[in-house]
Structure 1
């Protein structure tokens, strides 16, 4: 077989990620406050950029690119934008990358929200959990009672109480207590030390404050030595668990998007202009600098700064338009939740929003990260409203994956005989949920529930 050389031409396409495109994508992921910090650095570095003190980037109340249908009265807050043009690139040597402008510290809110996301799958219960996180005072106590939370979210107080019990198992121990007694009890329970004698001591803390040890020994049915040990354990507990985690436990979240109801009963969705960075390109200064430049190096520097400034202003405007489109469509899709309460959260996927507004799913995903919307039912991150959907066996409305996980958990907790994954599939299909066995197994494992074999073994050991 002869070996020969041959020259071929092949044509292919590929996406080139220029520095400006990379930073445009990164800008889309950041919150308004994070973008503001980045813009501040750009203002210091680029002489052609200046603050716009006269008007917001997007004027509130103007009609947006996605006007709402008449049945819900939605409208977005798009208006004029003062942007330049140009497609310049960034050098990359004039400062740290944009991600380095972000804060790295994790506060108590983030710590609790992460646990909420991992431990509570039902979207309605997660909404309740977020509201309870917002109700914590600086010491970590729930303030104001549970009724206001239930009223704001349109659900029963008993459901809020159930979610609270779950949150009280979070770290740090003692968090989400409603009073000192409950805070200490939660910490003792975490240490497996909440026996009847200790509970009796907690029920009579006023006697401990008064130093009435004789009465306490009689009430707790312990001797002097045991009481001394119990009191020592109480003193070792932390009455303000949030302060032990962070000196400033709950950093207030500033919303990126605002919504409120119109007199006609619909919703107005607009960007929070108080947090949007406002910049302009100084064209006259650019002309003067270019005219006074003394050589090619000076001219190249001025042109580079001009294209960079134009790119930034253009990118900020496009970012604002994109966020508003996504937020407006989320509000439209979740109208029942905002109108009637947490039980009406519908299954929603990012591709549903992307298809409706004509954007890529990855763009919607970036917008949903780190963006908060202030609603009549509380403050929520945009990605809170997304969950997977599972088809209905009769072709009806699909089921939220979070709701199916909750149902699996309920079936197993109430099982009289151990239910296999196959049996769970049969029961769920009987309730109209079209689900595969491997999906049931995946959801069960995400709930940290052992297999039917392991549960059966544990039951035998308990009986034995």
Structure 2
């Protein structure tokens, strides 16, 4: 058989993920902070996009009732019974049909009007000086800089500058300070520092010994026993018995006091005094410094009781990006475009702007629809508490809303819902099931964990320390079919010691 080259034409069907679809799928799984960063980048890149003024109500805000929906006429409502908006697909990559159904809203466009089109848009100087770069803003920036608390690294660097280090020692000290974590512990090997600086290990140890005398006491220690030792030395409370206690902290964690008494060679009274001394120390000396600005969780969805019954689910309008296409500006630029490349670029910007707005609108609708179904499924949790949390998985929600499981997974990632019982991530409501011993409905793993914690918390009142086997018996009497190893796993996940350790703690 001779080998040769030839051309063939074939027809076939296949799923192609275009860059626009990839962008739409990516937007689904972004948090509100990540989405804001993407929007800012698009506003800088695309001249046809403009941010909508926040004076009036957001058009993209939507509201829905669950399970009943009789709201004001001006609100945009999304019925739970509407299963035609999204089409499920058996292929994992068929998210395009989930993201863009047949009911995708039309693109919102705004025509900006100016006094004279030839002069361009007017500039509003009423807010000048209130942002960065203005003269009035310099005083505010300076005030923030002067009142800001120092970080741990800045605090240690200030002390190193007055520690009379030589130039090589100062360089080593700076590397050591850079290796300190938020708790104040050294997380860099001394051998590595000596190798990087090309010096003797003894010199690095000498610099570290000096740095360990900085405030707060115990900072730059390489381990918890060393951190506690530094603090005890300063208090003049470090002796041979205390040294043995620091070398056997694992026995103290297990509350094995009899073994500690033998090792330390002390009686019960002295051991209790030593333990009390250790409790007065700070195992994380660097935690008192602000390592950085804390990020507050901003919920994407609000849930509140409806006076008419059921629950009302609202999108957080503050997290919804408000951008519009300036069609007037696009028409003016289109009329002045001369070359084909300029026209092509303008058309691409227009198409990308339309697609982005369409993606953002559908993203909001999808989040709202999935959240409404989760609230409907977990109605018992919102009414009675965590003990009534039902087992729930992605497949159940996906079938109910007519989407693919992967789409529901993306929608519930990094999204938070504010409820009368607190702020929770949407993933919180997806829990595994534990079979019932009496044939009734299964129990969720989260509710079983809560029951185990409640039983152990009630030990002080009853005076009985419950073993894992005893907890299994109590739960089976309550209709929960659970194994002992599962109880032990949940107890360890809750960071609750075993029954033996809890008995030692009472002694």
Q: Do the aligned residues in 1 keep the contact of 2:468 with 2:487 (CA within 8 Å)?
A: no
| Matched pairs, number | 309
Residue matched to 1:348: 392
Farther off after superposition, 342-351 or 313-322 = 342-351
Residue matched to 1:397: 441
Q: CA offset at residue 84 of structure 1?
A: 4.8
Q: Are 2:299 and 1:255 equivalent residues in the alignment?
A: yes
Question: Within 1, Cα distance between the matches of 2:45 and 2:293?
Answer: 34
Q: CA offset at residue 403 of structure 1?
A: 5.5
Question: Within 1, Cα distance between the matches of 2:269 and 2:467?
Answer: 36
Q: CA offset at residue 10 of structure 1?
A: 6.6
Q: Do the aligned residues in 1 keep the contact of 2:303 with 2:417 (CA within 8 Å)?
A: yes
Q: Do the aligned residues in 2 keep the contact of 1:256 with 1:372 (CA within 8 Å)?
A: yes
Q: CA offset at residue 374 of structure 1?
A: 0.7
Residue matched to 1:56: 58
Question: Within 2, Cα distance between the matches of 1:364 and 1:11?
Answer: 33
Residue matched to 2:469: 415
Which runs of structure 2 are paired with 1:49-448 in the superposition (5 Å)?
49-53=49-53, 54-59=56-61, 61=63, 64=64, 68-70=66-68, 78=76, 83-84=107-108, 192-193=251-252, 221-222=269-270, 233=278, 236-238=281-283, 242-243=287-288, 247-248=291-292, 250-390=294-434, 392=436, 396-402=440-446, 413-415=467-469
Q: CA offset at residue 402 of structure 1?
A: 4.8
Q: Do the aligned residues in 1 keep the contact of 2:389 with 2:447 (CA within 8 Å)?
A: no
* TM-score, structure 2 normalization: 0.50
Residue matched to 1:16: 16
Q: Do the aligned residues in 2 keep the contact of 1:73 with 1:265 (CA within 8 Å)?
A: no
Q: CA offset at residue 14 of structure 1?
A: 2.9
Q: Do the aligned residues in 2 keep the contact of 1:32 with 1:256 (CA within 8 Å)?
A: yes
Structure number with larger C-alpha Rg: 2
SS in 2 for 1:58: coil
Question: Within 2, Cα distance between the matches of 1:8 and 1:290?
Answer: 42
Q: Do the aligned residues in 2 keep the contact of 1:374 with 1:380 (CA within 8 Å)?
A: yes
> Residues 448 and 340 (structure 1 numbering): CA distance in 2 closer, same or farther, change over 3 Å?
closer
Q: CA offset at residue 356 of structure 1?
A: 1.1
Question: Within 1, Cα distance between the matches of 2:383 and 2:491?
Answer: 34
Q: Do the aligned residues in 1 keep the contact of 2:389 with 2:446 (CA within 8 Å)?
A: no
SS in 2 for 1:321: helix
SS in 2 for 1:268: strand
Q: Do the aligned residues in 1 keep the contact of 2:393 with 2:431 (CA within 8 Å)?
A: yes
Q: CA offset at residue 83 of structure 1?
A: 2.5
CA RMSD, 1 decimal: 4.9
Residue matched to 1:164: none
Question: Within 2, Cα distance between the matches of 1:24 and 1:389?
Answer: 33
Q: Do the aligned residues in 1 keep the contact of 2:66 with 2:375 (CA within 8 Å)?
A: no
Question: Within 1, Cα distance between the matches of 2:269 and 2:491?
Answer: 39
Unaligned runs of 5+ in 2: 79-104, 110-182, 184-222, 225-245, 258-266, 456-465, 493-507
Question: Within 2, Cα distance between the matches of 1:261 and 1:326?
Answer: 18
Q: CA offset at residue 388 of structure 1?
A: 2.3
> Residues 8 and 395 (structure 1 numbering): CA distance in 2 closer, same or farther, change over 3 Å?
farther
Question: Within 2, Cα distance between the matches of 1:350 and 1:381?
Answer: 14
Q: CA offset at residue 265 of structure 1?
A: 3.4
Q: Do the aligned residues in 2 keep the contact of 1:258 with 1:374 (CA within 8 Å)?
A: yes
Q: Do the aligned residues in 2 keep the contact of 1:336 with 1:345 (CA within 8 Å)?
A: yes
Question: Within 1, Cα distance between the matches of 2:19 and 2:11?
Answer: 25
Question: Within 2, Cα distance between the matches of 1:447 and 1:334?
Answer: 22
Question: Within 2, Cα distance between the matches of 1:282 and 1:385?
Answer: 41
> Residues 334 and 82 (structure 1 numbering): CA distance in 2 closer, same or farther, change over 3 Å?
same
Q: CA offset at residue 405 of structure 1?
A: 7.8
Residue matched to 1:454: none
* TM-score, structure 1 normalization: 0.54
Residue matched to 2:25: 25
Question: Within 1, Cα distance between the matches of 2:476 and 2:279?
Answer: 51
Q: CA offset at residue 429 of structure 1?
A: 9.3
Q: CA offset at residue 69 of structure 1?
A: 3.6
> Residues 82 and 8 (structure 1 numbering): CA distance in 2 closer, same or farther, change over 3 Å?
closer
Q: CA offset at residue 261 of structure 1?
A: 1.3
Residue matched to 1:125: none
> Residues 304 and 318 (structure 1 numbering): CA distance in 2 closer, same or farther, change over 3 Å?
same
SS in 1 for 2:50: strand
Residue matched to 2:44: 44
Q: CA offset at residue 414 of structure 1?
A: 3.3
